[in-house]
Amino acid sequence: MSSDMSTANSKKEEESTYAIIQTSSPCSKKYSYISGQVNRFINSFRRKGESEDVKELKGENEECGAATKMKKSIKSRHLLMISLGTGIGTGLLVGNGKALAKAGPAGLVIGYAVASIMLYCIIQAAGELGICYSGMAGNYTAYSSLLVDPALGFSVSWVYCVQWMTVLPLQLVTAAMTVRYWTNANPDIFVAVFFVVIMVINMFGAKGYAEAEFLFNICKVLMIAGFVILGIAINCGGAGTSGYIGAKYWHSPGSFAAGFKGVCYVFCYAAFSYGGIEVMVLTASEQENPRKSIPNACKKVIYRILMIYMLTTIIVCFLVPYNSSELMGSSGESASHASPLVIAVASHGVKIVPHIINAVILISVISVGNSSMYSAPRLLLSLSEQGYAPKFLNYVDRQGRPLICFAITLLVALIAFVAASDAEEDIFAWLLAISGLSQIFIWTSICLSHVRFRDAMHAQGLSLGQIGYKSQTGYWGSWFAIVISVLVLIAQFWVAIAPIGEEGRLNAETFFQNYLAFPILLGAYFGYKVYHKDWRLCIPASEVDLSSHRNISDEEILRQEDYEWNEKMSNSSIWVRLCHFWC
């Protein structure tokens, strides 16, 4: 009886509440909606609970047992543009001016060509490991700890994290330098504006980053395509006021500015320019279907290498002499620090277009800063989850944002406000010193991890048929990339101890600007070894843990999927097959 009465009372309360809602004014409804949105926004900053993780991941990561807290917001279209355009920024569009001034056109092209071959092998290795360990905390920064040696993983992870944390202030300083093409106003004003823009974008988490990169990268790719077409027209005399140029600047002032040493000088700049191309693998834990999207993106990397980097570099080398006083790093007093792309167009009498190029360069710089703001907190979070950094850093809110790591990255970015000082170019050089060489370290560690992974699979009698995607360059492609990386480090050391323009004399400042990341890496590596008293060079192949974190695919299912896909392609039109081959 009492239960019936309580039920009746609760129904009356519901009816009265419903009546109040129905009779409430539009203003109260609007207030209620706004209040709900505000509360939802505030609650989104609370720590994501374990129960939420399990609920969200049920059915998604069962085969790898991943306990990731990241939201799967990145779609295939996002990854396509991230693989094509992320990283196109300071290195290619601004830093290449200094590399051209030091190495000459032939030195610049050769340096980029060597880096390009190495990079393709690296991305293939990263793609294979990225699918095998798509739910692993830290992703490719953690491969070394699991497959090679924990000390190597610790040191490379920290150097790489520091690199991405310094990339953000580097991009903000570059943005202020880019704006100087139009105005001489206080650059700190623009640093503050771009700082806020990047911060707001990343407050929307992985989805905000991915959507912004999608739009930014469309602008960058279209601008590069337009520049290549215009550059060819200028060189052939079809545009501008210079008439036919051809290979004029390769004969006078010449092809090489400093011979072989100039080529060695380019390696660090090329590594920095290509830096960020591996971010698509870092996003694996936030992709909807990494098994399909990562191989697709790895295949398209070749377009970025050939059509974006190599073509752009070659066009610049045909339109700008290496002794131009406007290039960054030149000895001329009229150096404007403008992008070599802008100089390539403006110096031949083309109007308006340089302003468009400079505007897109500004977008590109902000885009790389956005990638840094996405990557650095997640790398710092992975260090915490691996036990390489304090545990309080692993705070992730309900929207998948690593908030404490996010705040630390923003604090480091405040370095950019030195843009108003006279030491602006020196700060640029020092930030670049940390970024360029550490990029080679992470690439080497990815390839070394891939080699050790294949060795461990062989030693433990496991079939490669369990792998969701196999590197197109294979085991020996990774060895090739490792050898080239070591040679690049040796060449960079030579440039550091006998710098260009110093008559071969050792200069401490120049040495550390060229090789700063190496002593940081050594300090972290041996510090870990001493602290843990672990003096093994690497984990034996037979002892490598291949069961934890790894996605183990059914060999028969993969073979059947490949067979069905090949049948589908063989029955498709030539246009569909061409589209699949190129896209």
Contact 313, 327 (CB under 8 A): no
Residue 175's H or E segment, with its range, is helix 150-179
In this structure, what token pair is assigned to residue 508? 């401490």
Whether 43 maps to a domain, the answer reads no
Q: What is the pTM of this model?
A: 0.78
Residue 375 belongs to a domain = yes
- The answer to the question of residue 170 being in a domain is yes
- Of the candidates 215, 190, 212, 191, the one whose C-alpha atom is nearest the C-alpha of residue 200 is 212
C-alpha closest to that of 407 among 7, 45, 121, 29: 45
Looking at the domain assignment, is residue 428 inside a domain?
A: yes
In order along its 583 residues, the chain shows pLDDT tens digits of 444 544 455 445 444 444 444 444 555 655 665 666 566 656 565 666 644 444 444 444 433 333 345 556 666 676 667 766 666 777 787 778 888 988 899 999 999 998 888 888 998 888 888 888 876 755 667 888 889 999 998 998 888 888 888 888 888 887 887 888 788 777 778 888 888 999 998 888 778 888 888 888 888 888 888 999 999 999 998 888 888 898 889 988 888 888 888 888 888 778 778 877 777 666 655 566 666 777 777 777 777 787 788 899 999 999 999 888 877 655 544 444 567 888 888 888 888 888 888 888 888 888 888 888 888 888 888 888 888 888 888 888 877 788 888 899 988 888 777 765 666 667 667 766 666 678 888 889 999 999 999 999 999 988 887 787 888 888 999 999 999 889 888 888 887 787 776 665 777 777 777 787 888 889 999 999 999 888 888 899 888 888 877 777 777 777 787 788 778 878 888 887 777 666 5
Q: How far apart are CA 126 and CA 538, in angstroms?
A: 20
Phi-psi category of 350—alpha, beta or left, where left has phi over 0 and alpha has psi -120 to 50? beta
Judge whether 583 lies within some domain.
Answer: no
> Which among 105, 465, 26 has a CA at the least distance from the CA of 321?
105
Pairwise CA distance, residues 114 & 430, whole Å: 24
Residue 568 located in a structural domain: no
* CA 267 to each of CA 110, 260, 434: distance values in angstroms, whole numbers, following the listed order: 9, 11, 14
Q: Are 521 and 528 in contact (CB under 8 A)?
A: no
Hey, which residues does 47 pair with through a beta bridge?
397
Whole-number pLDDT of residue 220? 85
Residue 476 located in a structural domain: yes
- Total of domains in the chain: 1
Residue 566, domain member (yes or no): no
Give the range of the structural domain holding residue 529, as residue numbers without chain letter: 66-552
CATH number for 298: 1.20.1740.10
Matching residue, tokens 């509440």: 17
